[in-house]
A and B are shown apart, each in its own frame.
Chain A
Amino acid sequence: MQPLQHVGPVCALKVFSNKWLFSGEGPSLKIYDYVTGKKLFERIIFQRNKIHGIEYIDSNANGNDDSNVKIAVWGGRSLSIFTLAQLKDLNFELPHQGVGDWILHCMFEDQNTLHILNSHNIVHTISTENEKPQLLLSKNCDWKSILYSGTLHKDPETGKVTVLAGTVMNGVLIWDLKSGAVQHNLTQHEGSVFSVISSPDGKHIVSCSDDRSIKVWDKETGKLLANGWGHGSRIWGLSVYNVSDVGFNVFSCSEDCTSRIWTFKYSGSDELTQDKIILGHTGRHVWSIAVDDQNKIGFTGGADGKILVTDLASEKREGYWGHKWELKDISNETGYNFIKGELIKEYVDFGYGLLAVTSEGRFMILQDYKQWLPLFEDLRFERFCLLKAFNQDPIVVVGSKHGDVLILKFNEKCELVQKNDIKFEKHFSRLGNILLNQHNDSLFALFESPNPKEHIVYSEIDRENLAFVSEKILSKPSDKIILSSVGYDSQRDYLFIGCRFATLLIYSMSDNQNEPIAIFKNFFKGDTISSIVPLNESEECTLYLTDRDGTYHLIRFSAELEYEFLQSSRIQKGFLEGIIRHANGDIIFYGFKSDSFFAWNETKQYEIMREVCGGPHRRWLFKHWTDKTSKKLKYRFVYTRASEVQIIEMGDSYAVELLATGLHGREIRDVCFVNAADGQDEKVVITGAEDTTLKIGTLKSNGEFKLHWTYREHVAGLQSIHPINNEYIISSSAREELFLWKISNSDGKKCMALHGLLPPSEENPDLRIMDFDTIEIVNGKREIVGFLLVSAYSNSAIKIFQYTYSTKKFTLLIDDSYMKCCIFHAKFLSLNGKLYILIGSTNGHITLYDVHTIIEERYVTIGGEVCEKVRLLEKMSIEEPKLMSLGKWTINQQMHQSSIKALEIIQVTPDKITLLTGGDDNALIVSRLQCVEGSELVTVDIESFNPSAASSTITTIKAVDQNTVLVGAVDQSLRLWDIRSDLKIVEENYTTVADTGCAEVVDFGDNTKLALVGGAGFSIFKI
């Protein structure tokens, strides 16, 4: 098996020459250019160990000779030392070295000398001059207890090497490498010390521990100078940068999934100030950290396999603009004498500046977003004023309560160049809302009255003379509706109006009809449709919808306006205001989360920006665009907080935002795949994890995996995911959750929507649905109409349901239970055209139930030849089903000493099945289920048995072909076994995915088979 791809915990990061990032992703060393975001190089360094650290020394005076760059990479007990030239030379075999103990840190004293600190506080100094390294000296400070962390630091002035050691209990030991003398034993931390480093100048020590504090110490005196409190869990890593005459910054990463920026000042406070919290990793744990001090870029690597890039000096970048104005500043600049209680009521961004209006009807301009200028005063707009600006034209529409409308046009200097004053009372008595819409280079405004009886007016505005060129009356449905968003599908000429109470109206603009052609009330569970983005280029009418409550949907309408939800999910927390389809295909959301405004990349799952603005209830605007040259998303965010107007505009960024996308933030519990409807060379892969999310992506036969969407429908950690066919899959988890998903394809991505869900049996469900299986049901015309589902529970219950696609209903047919133990596996199987279910449980037994006789009133089993799927043919004239029980089992046979953790079946012939089981007892068993000739009996016989097929629990068995299986275990072994006659190992492999729990074998045809292995990470191998 050949490793192709690996996503997993990123345990080591190192900035190289202020241009590249070296990362340790599992056993692989990867090199990224963080300005372009390109991955430059990748190579597996160790067979068994993950990379935990990377250091280098560059002896190039000036020039770029790769053989003058020496690199040390370590992880666990493994160490490898090589030059950059050797690394790049794939014919050069990288050495595998070690010092017989866990390595915490390495430091090059010079090109030929390396110091290695191990976890028993011993430093080995070696010579790297010759091909074979040579041990020169081992040093200790007479204190050999176990360490959790430690670094070596060379003083830039004196050249003295200091060992900074973090113990498992409270202590930080600082000792001199040369003399072995302990300089300080710092004991003010509580619990294990997870990181201790020196400031680059060697004057300060920074440490963190189990007590969730960061501590800064004076290196000379050992005095504790400051504490940094803020992280919500253990802190794993630290980096010091920006050292100046007044202080320095600390960048920290933690179990709480955040990284944080802190400032320490030499004089003054005994607290580190927390400047910024960076979110963007998912699940749990940000393990690794690095800083490019010259360009002020931070890097973090998480358990989610993501490498996030943080701009540590975003406010100093070219083009950045941040400012806030108190009301009195605006009064001073404009010369307006605001009266008591006068407020800035509304503002809009017309592309060159802001137009704002006060509660007294005073209009003003924020020229170039810098300088406030008065514009005019108009009492018609006091207290209530609607202000809306077009996205791409510097044209603003103003409305009063009584229907006065102003259309204003500005030039680049923010001068008002044209103004059209329209008395707009023809259609209604009062104006309640204006929504703008711009398409095909035309400008449209939608005017709405608060009176439910009055119609909506949809007018086109001439951008030259600012007059209305056309208007269309859109009648409102009789119920109370409150408009919130608008979207236009230019291909179909449909206008979509989003309203409160999750209501969507569709008007056809090409005909003369005033009534909506479709009304969808309570379209989904939610409240206000906050944005509508139609995919104009799509063949069928398709649109994105966001709901302010935090859900989003991708919906497709047929020509008859029958709809289908292709994609539904929600953000982790917060309110959604809008959606951006970025130029690179990523979907970006923005909205509010507790006290902040955020923009979030949903495709790649990271936060782009966050501004603490006080929360959602305020005046705000978010203007975004794609930078023409860099293709990066740029934005301007303006908001009012405590009557101050604040503005933030993002400047030019030095680096990309993300280097590796990663996958799940916690252990992957199951993986399944289906064939893609289009494209032979691609499979759709769905993974589910302990982090409660499901993810969908595509896998190519070369092992390339791309993540498309993430789903947060489950509230408990995933247990099992299996496909029914290429269109439908089912996922199950604790809290008795079992969801049926329909897979489709839209906006260039594979997506899923919930099709049905199995209602839990209890109001407060606490049962885990451990496993399930399905068998398809067809009607007389051989059309698929539904499926039979068997589900197995943690309380030993076994249930069989019938699901019908047309009614989206699960009907319980059989409700029974096995014994009192937890069932781990359930499978349908067919022998001689008869249907059985097979279960495997914690008591080590496999149990076979004959369900054929129970269901034969309703179904006939068809198919069952090798390679042909068994299906159930629904019998005509079916009466209402009555609840039945399974009856006595046919077989209940102990196979393993304890839990059956892995189970696979291979149909050999219609009356013969090979059964493979793997257990907590390390055993692998091949047995045969078959019908006794001329009898109704089914027997199980053990064919071969290996009591120690792994050194730990066997968690997954997958058939590669009729004779070969892939067996994965918690000891991280991945073995291919030949199951004919005696069990024989065909191939031994090893995965760095810890907590190895699930696998899948994907057949691409042409002898290309890939193995997917999930656990604390995800690996793809070619078999």
Chain B
Amino acid sequence: MAEAHPVGFQWVMEAKKRGARIIHVDPRFTRTSALAHQHVPIRVGSDIAFLGGIINHVLQNELDFREYVVNYTNAANIVSDKFEDVDGLDGLFSGFDPETRTYDPTSWQFAQEDQDGELGQAQADDAGDTAEQRDTAAGMQNEAHGMQVGSHPPRDETLQHPMCVFQVLKRHYARYTPEVVEQICGVSQEDFLEVCRAWTENSGRERTTALVYSVGWTQHSVGVQYIRAGAILQLLLGNMGRPGGGIMALRGHASIQGSTDIPTLFNLLPGYLPMPNAASHQTLSDWIDGVRNPGSKGFWANAGAYGINLLKAYWGDAATAENDYCFDYLPKITGDHGTYRTVLDMIDGKVQGYFLVGQNPAVGSAHGRAQRLGMANLDWLVVRDLFEIESATFWKDSPEVQTGEIVPEECRTEVFLFPAASHVEKEGTFTQTQRMLQWREKAVEPPGDARSELWFFYHLGRMMRESLAGSSDERDRPLLDLAWDYPLHGEAASSGWGEPSAEAVLKEINGYEVATGRLLSGFGEMKDDGSTLGGCWIYSGVYADGVNQAARRKSRHEQSEVAPEWGWAWPMNRRLLYNRASADPQGRPWSERKAYVWWDEDAQEWTGHDVPDFEKKKPPSYRAPEGSDGVAAIEGIDPFIMQGDGKGALYAPQGLIDGPMPTHYEPVESPFRNLLHGQQGNPTRKEYRRSDNPLNPDPREPGAAEVFPFVFTTSRLTEHHTAGAMSRYVEHLAELQPEMFVEVSPALAAERGLEHMGWCHVITARSAVEGKVLVTERLRPLRVEGRTVHQVWMPYHWGQGGLVSGDSTNDLFGISLDPNVLIQESKVGTCDVRPGRRPTGPALREYVEGYARRAGVLDHEEGPVVTASADAQQRSAAAQDGADQHSPQQREDQ
């Protein structure tokens, strides 16, 4: 955190001054470790084993916050007795289909006590085609949707029922003992128990613990399950929805939170509405029902209003009830359109044009060679950036030009480079990890031809509309019918080339009454009859009372600790989500020290330091009447109001492609066999097996360990920003870390003959990159499964451009993805390290291919993904058949 988020780290230092104990778990000793009380080195890619060990420690020693767990989580829910866990199935859950490598989650569901179909409907919806869900990263929608389970699953609040979630969880993690953690993670039992002790002692009524991670944590083939493991632990210890608790995702750039809220993702629309699917969302009501999921509790029941307001914001007067508010104009997805799929499609000649806006995939994305070869096979490429980055110059100076794979004279891609305004040269908002929007003013005019994104896209749209004006072609209607009128300002406004008003855009996002223009005070005012419009329901309220709430800058000294008048947080300026959980089931603070939001008996309403994340007048004693759903089904003790059952999910029967509970799988490339199961890696991961994407071999292949014996990982340096476009081109930053380097331990240096400050190169089946050797004790060999493993670390900031240049570390990675959200595994791989510089020119390819050949992966002959025993595969599939037979209800409802 000190490395990549030094400004945020000031608050950790502040907490440390006040007595907080800081623990840093990281493969290497970083600037964060330097300031932490304890550094725990861990083998890259073994985090679920580590967190699973802590979960086991909590459950075996009954250290969970029991009253919280019983009331606020799904610990008491009874799971279907058709469910079979990984221990009996060699690392698979029940319901696995080896053909598609996906699960049918029917057997994972909660048991049914009602036969009225309410639960069955909700559950069956998600028991659909998980192969399709994987392609469309459908799991992403659960980021804000929560699980769409039925409202009233059977419960055993004594937590004794053998199939209640608590017992299922306890059995699942029973194997994650301190000994096993030591074996898998290379973490000493002493260090491990110290972490357990600190975490549990600082959780409960009086204290809370925060789990903070940076997004490299997600970049694994089991990335989503990493976060799930953290969530389970925080729920067991009562650290969610309470001050000082939570899970903080430190984003990699300004407003990455904003870019999922108002997304730049292929499968989401603003406010986490799913992008309609051509197969399943033929009509507006199909789409809305797909979101609101009748039978579930919670606020998604109002999805119709949110969706229709978005359509009205897009198409204005053209969107009417008669034409389904132009629902047909929305593009529909048909499968995997993720960034890596698109890059491979570029190589295959299926993509003509591409926009890169503030992104430098030639350096920043996994498998740099594939990225560059893809971009070299387009008709046109638009690059908007501050400098002429590698993604704009790949055709003339990339490593592939040296190897002869790209010939500048023959490269067909026409590159259009547009200079972009930086964040101080344009107005707008940033949304940070706390979901807080902060308005920023334009400080200076952008230089030369540099312009904001808003300017670029507004005028691009305007010109396209002008060029199509008068067209009678039906396919041009979505563009021509767009509500595309924003006031312009600035010097060029009179000529029609002015800067669109970002405040006008924010007002549209907030939403207003169509007839009067009155700005909405929140999403509660959104109507599903076309009388209001709003571009992003969760942002509604940012312009409440006609005031730009995001621009508020009241000093923290003039307001409460929660600082509600600094900026504006969605939803409805709540600073802490699910904060109903900060009070006990009766609505009283868990402790004076941790009082945050509570039920005021006299006023008969929720009150406190923050905006209660609960219906203000719904008392803790409220119990839902039989048959209710939606908001009415949320009971007075259901803090997690966006979940289908209002409870925090220790066990996730739906929404995850790869299983209801995190289980340890080895990274796709690992020198170790999975100690726990025959199933080596995530069986459902997304893979693109093709000759230009070779993966290093499975450790059980003969010779694999000799060819690629070491583990490598990458991260950032404080001095640079990601792919370097904002630092390598800037004198005062570039000089701080002027060269690409490779960190190795003294022991590895001795083993491989590497000299401090000499050259070395790192090799995988994809490429070889070189750098200076930095020998440091900040990297330590670990003992894993009885043998020593060396970990190598590299920063990934360099490319051929800029004031300082060097090889790009991301060239080393192949493409394999998490099945839930299609994020790439780009924080762990296997490699070899050799002294001296790498070969250049065509010899580089021969050198790398020599490695691939020796490893047996040259012609994509990597071992199978599914390595669980054949018997286990059969039994997993059979368990599913049993589940189908025993619950015909679900199929009928579908």
Q: Do A and B bind each other?
A: no
